[in-house]
Structures are given as C-alpha cells and as structure tokens.
Amino acid sequence: MKKWMIILSLFLLTGCWDKIELEEQAFVVVVGLDKGENGLLDVTYQIANPQVGSTDRSKADKEKAYEIVTLSAPNLTVATQITNVSVTRNITLSHVKALIVGEELAKDNMFLHISETITKERGLRENVLFLVSKEKASEFIKHNKTPFETRPHKFYDLMGQRWKETGFVPLSTYQMYLKNTQHDAGAFLAIYSTAKNRKQEAKKEEDENVAGEVKIRSGSHTQSIGSVVFKNGKAIDKLTGEETRLALMLQHDSDVQEWTTSFTDPIQTKEAIGTRIIIEKKAKINVNTKKSSPVITATVPVKVDIVSVPSLVNYSTNLEHGEKLKSHIEKELERKTDNVVKKSQNELKVDIFEFYYRARRKFLTMKQYERYNWMKSYPNATVIIDYEVELYQFGEQVLPTNRQRVRD
C-alpha cells in the first residue's frame, strides 16, 4: 500500500516542475515601440515594482515604483529575451495595460508588418490599450508622470474610464486595430497622446485641439485628446477632439454617452452657451448601395442640457427663444459634422464613421460586397446628416437672474 502511495505522489508532484516564483517575475505594464536604425525596432518596457503602492510598501520605501528599459531588436519576441541581459527577473507581458507607438513609426510602411509580428507574442493580450504618442514612445513613457497614482498600471485603468465619459479620444485597443485593418473598408481611430509640455496657444474651444495643444498648468504634462486615423494599417492623419467626438456619435459601437461643449448664443452672438450633450439612442443610419456611389442618410437624436447662459437670455420659459436655440444647435452640429464628412471624403478618403457595417448588410454575399469596393465608393458618397435636438434641462435655476433686481 505504501508503495502505491509513493508512486501516486510522484505523479501529483510532477505538475510543479516548471513553476516560477512570484518574486522571480518582472511584470511589464507598458510597452513602447519606436522606429530604430538599420530596420530595427526600438522597444521600451515599463516594468512595475509590485511592492510599491501595495500593503507591503514598508519593505520598499526606498525602491522605485517602476523601471524603464529601452533596447533595439528585430521584433518584440527577441527584445523580451534580450531584456534579461540586464534584468534578473523573468520578463512577462501578461499584465501589459497599454501598447504605445511613436507617431513616426505609426506613419511608416513597416508598421503593418510589425503589428502582425506582435500577434505571435503569446503573453501579450490583444485587448490592451492602443495609443499613438506625438513624441517617441520611449520619451512618452519616460515623461508620463502620474502624481495621483503610484502604480503606473492604475493610470491607464482610470484614464480608460475618463475617455469613455469625455469622448475626447476613442477607446482603442490593439485587438480593434487588427480587426479594422483586416476589414479593408474603413479607418481605425487610435488614442493620440503626448507627455511633453508644448507651450502653444490653445484654440478657442477646448475640444478643437489635439494632444499637446491644450493649455494646462499642472505638474503632469500628459495629454490625451484627438485621434490618429489609420488606413490600411498605417497612420495617415489626425482628428481634433471635436472631430473625434462627432465621428464617435455616428459609430455603431461607441461607448460615449455624454460630453460637454459650447455653442454661440443665437441672440447675443458675442456670448457662448455651455451645454451637455446626452446620447441615449444610437443614430439611425441608412445606406443605399443601388448605385455606384452610395447614398447615406443619418438621423442623430440627442438631448441637450443647458449648463450656462452668460447672456441671461430666457431660453427656458420663452418658447420662441427656446425654439430658436434648439434650431441653432441642430444647425451647428450638422455644419460641424458635414465638415468632418468632407474631410473624410476629400482629404482622408476613408470611412471614419463605420458606415460600411450598414452597407455590408445590403449584399447577399461577401463577394458582391467586395466587388462594390467600399474603400473606393465611399469618397463619392452622398452623405446627409440630420440632428434631432431635445432641450432637456436648464439647471436648478430655470429663469435667468434679473440684473435690475440685483442692482436694486
């Protein structure tokens, strides 16, 4: 009996032969990719120290929260192995939160090939955040200071939630990049970021900027606003925060539910009215593909909260003024969206609104759809966008302040 128990225990113990202790692991939380010399790839790893910021912090008071390592290699797999030349622990990519690509590399023809080789890296998850940095990715990782978050991975977790709420950037992942590239019909919008302080004059409206143009006085210079447009796997141009928001409003899988912006006061044109745009229903989009040039019609229902009226014009109880404001907001949204549509057709020559999802349903087979060639058909399409605005709330103080009464 003892003999059989010894033999059985040997089988049970064999499952631990390749185990690696936790203290032997080096968890990479951010991977940066840049264009290197002689056709090589510059890879940057931000490796987290799990003790810093945890309950075991007393043992790591003098230790850094992370370590940054940059090296050149033919691909990501080789780079991961070479890292162990200077890092004693086993490099693992299973906890990577963000994949950051330098803008120079994103615009290079070789990036599509590089992105395909990344899929062969077993440890890297495909749902990691996908960002394009204005500067080199290595510089972004180095200068990205997170004053409120000791652990670097927490920054990307929380920022992902903020991006959903503001709509300043699309919520882009590496998996979405691969999916849209394989479709060969539309564009992929990636998060645009920078971590360097660029002393530029900000534009009039807060959402008319891209990363690096927003004037913020703070300890951290990291900014994420606007998006990078990828066509056939390669970055070709950028959209501002406002253009990104308008594009997301028409995409079928967007998570943006509300965002704040301002409109010119239709009565007191020198003033601006602060609003909150609420998106409760998806846009109703129809695509007619019976002709060689498609006809696209979209109706976008939105609710608008009036946040501030500096002119003190009564838009809440005065029906005539309220109707004028409603019509003005509709026309402004339609005008701005038409400008983004024209940019996508004349400059970018690619569908950034994902209209091709609706167009594909009009064909019985994939071969018919492929023969229609949406990439070439879309620039000649007729696109009609209509907004249906409902003035929803005017705040707790419905009526504007009576200035004469205040003076009295």
Q: Do the beta carbons of residue 163 and residue 193 sit within 8 Å?
A: no
Q: How far apart are CA 377 and CA 51, in angstroms?
A: 55
pLDDT in tens, 328-366: 999 999 999 999 999 999 999 999 999 999 999 999 998
> Cβ distance 63 to 57 under 8 Å?
no
Write the DSSP symbol of residue 154.
H
User: Between these two residues, 97 and 89, which has the higher pLDDT value?
Assistant: 97
Q: What is the C-alpha to C-alpha distance for residues 334 and 197, in angstroms, rounded to an integer? A: 34
101-114, pLDDT tens digit by residue? 999 999 998 888 88
Alpha helices in 206-251 (DSSP H): 241-250
Report the share of the chain in percent with pLDDT over 70: 76
Domains of the chain: residue spans and CATH: 25-244 (no CATH), 257-400 (3.30.300.210)
Residue 389, CA distances (Å) to 12, 296, 333 in order = 67, 20, 10
Angle between helices 319-342 and 241-250 (to 10 degrees): 100
- Return the pLDDT at 406: 46
Task: State the pLDDT at residue 62.
Answer: 57
pLDDT in tens, 231-255: 988 999 999 988 999 999 898 877 7
d(CA 307, CA 327): 18
CB 39 within 8 A of CB 73: no
Within a 13 Å sphere around the CA of 317, how many CA atoms are in the beta-carbon half?
5
* Listed range (25-29, 83-87, 280-284) with the worst mean pLDDT: 83-87
CB atoms within 10 A of CB 163: 20
- Lowest mean pLDDT across 82-96, 188-202, 213-227, 273-287: 213-227
Can you tell me the distance from the alpha carbon of 122 to that of 302, in angstroms, rounded to the nearest whole number?
43
Beta strand 272-278 with 90-92 is unpaired
Name the band, by pLDDT with cuts 50, 70 and 90, for residue 24: low
